[in-house]
Amino acid sequence: MDHVAAAWDFRASLDAFVGETLLPALHNVRDGFTGSPEQRSAEFTNLVTA
C-alpha cells in the first residue's frame, strides 16, 4: 500500500485538489487504482516550519 501525506491550510483547498486534480489523475492510471483513495485527517494546533 502506498501512502501520501500532506498538510493543507484549509479543508476546502484539500477538497478542491482531490476532486479536481487527484481523482481525475488516478482514473487515468492504466491497471492502477479503482475507487477513491482512503482519506484520514487531523488538525494541527501548532505547526512549526523551518
Torsion, Cα of 7, 15, 21, 28 (10° steps): 110
pTM for the complete prediction? 0.61
**Domain residue limits at 32:** 1-50
Q: How many domains does the chain have?
A: 1
The DSSP code sequence of 5-29 is ----S-HHHHHHHIIIIIHHHHHTS
Question: Mind listing the pLDDT tens digit for each residue in 1-50?
Answer: 677 788 888 889 989 998 899 888 888 887 777 666 778 888 878 878 77
Distance (Å, whole) CA 25 – CA 21 = 6
Q: How many angstroms separate the CA atoms of 24 and 29, rounded? A: 9
Instruction: Write down the pLDDT at residue 41.
Output: 82
